[in-house]
A and B are shown apart, each in its own frame.
Chain A
């Protein structure tokens, strides 16, 4: 009891602790609230949140690379793709139609880990020769990698299903699961439970559990010698090297862990969709995850999660629904003229709104960097750094403009 009270006292003013608490509460209550608010039609929103969880996982992983180790990875989607495709190859009938002739149906969880380790391996392969490059060159190299990988998958024809992709992947299964009144079933234990789109609440719960596990693991690393070494390398690489830190392998580890997380998310994504295609892994995915991390707070786990959740809802719920809303709003406000489509000019305000995804990206990235570079939930280090910069800006006069 005393330990709990001490814990509460220490963390009472800690923004991160508050964030975690709110997130846990939110996660637990979300399905119930949503179902209540939509009078039982909340399945779509629950499923949406479950999908959002995949992006949140990726944000947590990219945060390790960008936020902890300070490496800008612009090709993060490549590892997502590798995880997905690996899962598709080992957990479907696809290998049967390849020259190999024999399909694998590796059990779900093992397949997930195979996807994860393959992605981690790819990360190590890419990182080994490139992590010694300076920051901007590394960013471009990862960007190039992120462009090459999906195209390789697209062009590998018979092995990767080419342009259409691979279908009918094995869905996630668990040895057992509980069902209950929340899915209009009596309470009971279901052995060999298969996750299907009929039971999105199950996906949601599974996602929450996965995220919680990953958060704990990443937290553990952060508070270990590894996290310290990353921070040191980010602060002053020369001093870190002089103090015995092998900077290249430390960076490689961060890079691989990030790749592993992305691969894991990718494998899960493929399983949930029961489908994988190279179209889903472009630069837009990498930029989205980066924007999530930047928005939420680089180097801060709950920050990355928050950024993930916020941006996901903006991109996948608000933006798709906005055009219709704006259209009816315009009509209601007597601005119905805005809705009229002119084939060679104004495409109607609804269309304009739906096209604005990239504008939003741009505004978020530029805005955050210029106005609040520490993000919504800054890490402790960043708070200190910025406090210092403020003091210095006030103390020392602007030398030579700029």
Chain B
């Protein structure tokens, strides 16, 4: 594998040159980061990591949807990031109905309403995504590659437009229900309980997903269809149902991610999904598109990179950094860290 990596990196003189520059840049960035981390002290570092992990958990939830859909039908569902925002929006509207009014409810009384909130929001997002697949992607399944991509962009615009019409373009306040205290980790270093909660919820969801994919019949069908659609069909797997299930699950996770995002940042707007979706997509590609554990790992890594860049450098450069990572991964190692399970056409 190292040999193949080396081959792919040095295939042409230009590639080698760019690689050399890239390596230098990465090393320089790591050194600069290390210096600043040291200067900032342990406390700040752990806060940053905590934030990064929480961020990464949300990225991972959304990245999973991208990666599963790409794995099964090789389509980049541009609208996925907007399903994430939709989750936040829907939950925002549901909250008053469940008695979830900021400042009026806390502690154990939160658990049941939040649970209901999650379930309903995830369900609605999942149904919306299935609808999108049925209306916009399925008719174009055999069309040239350009067509479903353009349609996906159109869907994304449509979702953003609908949310814009519904609630306007400005930032909306999202209620804060997460615990506010700090969890001591020993040595005077703490992590925000907010971050910890987010991480826990995300991990639970991802564990449930992994169990489902590995143990259940539908999960097996999804893996089979991702590997070889025709063979799966010959084995009697209902392709349409399997694909719809993939969209269902991906959107459910994204919807949950939207709620968590809202709870953590307490602010959401109709057009957030575009940029956030791109971050999550970067995470999916970074970890290995089509690879489910890859999406989770990619999410966490991108979250940490994002957080370190924000915390130790400058917010305005973070976006550029993440997109640069996206481009570099696609150009130099499109299979990502863990590689792609679906063979290249």
Chain A contacts to B: CB under 8 angstroms: 66, 70, 72, 74, 128-130, 133-137, 139-141, 143-145, 147-148, 151-152, 154-155, 283, 287, 290-291, 294, 347, 351-352, 355-367, 369-370, 373, 400-402
Contacts and interface: CB of A to CB of B under 8 A. Distances in A.
B119 interface: no
Nearest to B136: A366
Given A145-B323, A148-B320, A361-B154, 17 more contacts: A66-B146, A129-B331, A134-B344, A135-B145, A139-B76, A139-B149, A151-B320, A154-B316, A294-B150, A355-B161, A356-B161, A359-B157, A362-B160, A365-B150, A366-B155, A370-B140, A400-B239
Nearest to A139: B149
Interface string B104-133: 000000000000000000000000000000
8 contacts: A72-B146, A130-B327, A347-B168, A358-B160, A362-B155, A364-B154, A366-B136, A370-B136
Contacts of A290: 150, 153
B153 A133 contact: no
Interface in B1-59: 14-15, 18
A401 B74 contact: no
A351 B161 CA distance: 13
Contacts of B161: 355-362
Interface string B131-157: 000011011110101111111011111
B146 A155 contact: no
Contacts of B324: 144, 148
Contacts of B151: 365-366, 369-370
B215 interface: no
Contact of B158 (A70, A74, A147, A358): A358
A402 B240 contact: yes
B168 A355 contact: yes
B197 interface: no
B317 interface: yes
A70 to B, nearest CB: 7
Contacts of A70: 146
B165 interface: yes
A36 to B, nearest CB: 37
Interface in B163-189: 164-165, 168-169
**What are the 4 A-B residue pairs with the smallest beta carbon separation, nearest first?**
A362-B158, A365-B154, A358-B161, A359-B161
Contact of B316 (A155, A364, A402): A155
A374 to B, nearest CB: 11
B93 to A, nearest CB: 11
B233 A400 contact: yes
Given A148-B323, A154-B316, A135 B149 contact: yes
A140 B76 contact: yes
Size band of the interface chain B makes with A:
35 or more
A144 B331 CA distance: 12
A361 B157 contact: yes
B304 interface: no
Interface string B272-292: 001100100100010000000
B240 A359 contact: no
A283 B275 CA distance: 10
B221 interface: no
B139 A130 contact: no
B326 interface: yes
Interface string B194-215: 0000000000000000000000
A134 B345 contact: yes
B334 A133 contact: yes
A400 B232 CA distance: 13
B231 interface: no
Interface in B71-122: 74-76
B240 A355 contact: no
B327 A144 contact: yes
Interface of B: 14-15, 18, 74-76, 135-136, 138-141, 143, 145-151, 153-162, 164-165, 168-169, 233, 239-240, 274-275, 278, 281, 285, 316-317, 319-320, 323-324, 326-327, 330-331, 334, 344-345
B323 A147 contact: yes
A72 B326 CA distance: 17
B322 to A, nearest CB: 9
Contacts of A135: 145-146, 149
Nearest to A364: B154
A128 B17 CA distance: 13
Query: Most chain-B Cβ atoms within 10 A of its Cβ — which of A70, A347, A373?
Result: A373
A151 B316 contact: yes
Query: Most chain-B Cβ atoms within 10 A of its Cβ — which of A144, A155, A357, A361?
Result: A144
Contacts of B233: 400
A384 to B, nearest CB: 14
Given A133-B330, A135-B149, A141-B331, A362 B143 contact: no
A140 B326 contact: yes
Nearest to B321: A148
B154 A366 contact: yes
Given A147-B278, A356-B165, A361-B161, A137 B153 contact: no
A358 B157 CA distance: 5
Nearest to B243: A402
A361 B164 CA distance: 13
A74 B152 CA distance: 12
Nearest to A143: B278
Contacts of A358: 157-158, 160-161, 164
Nearest to A389: B143
Given A72-B146, A155-B316, A355 B169 contact: yes
A308 to B, nearest CB: 17
A351 B168 CA distance: 9
A400 to B, nearest CB: 6
A402 B157 contact: no
A402 B141 contact: yes
A359 B158 contact: yes
A238 B74 CA distance: 21
A361 B157 CA distance: 6
A401 B76 CA distance: 22
Contacts of A140: 76, 281, 285, 326, 330
A144 B321 CA distance: 10
A133 B156 CA distance: 23
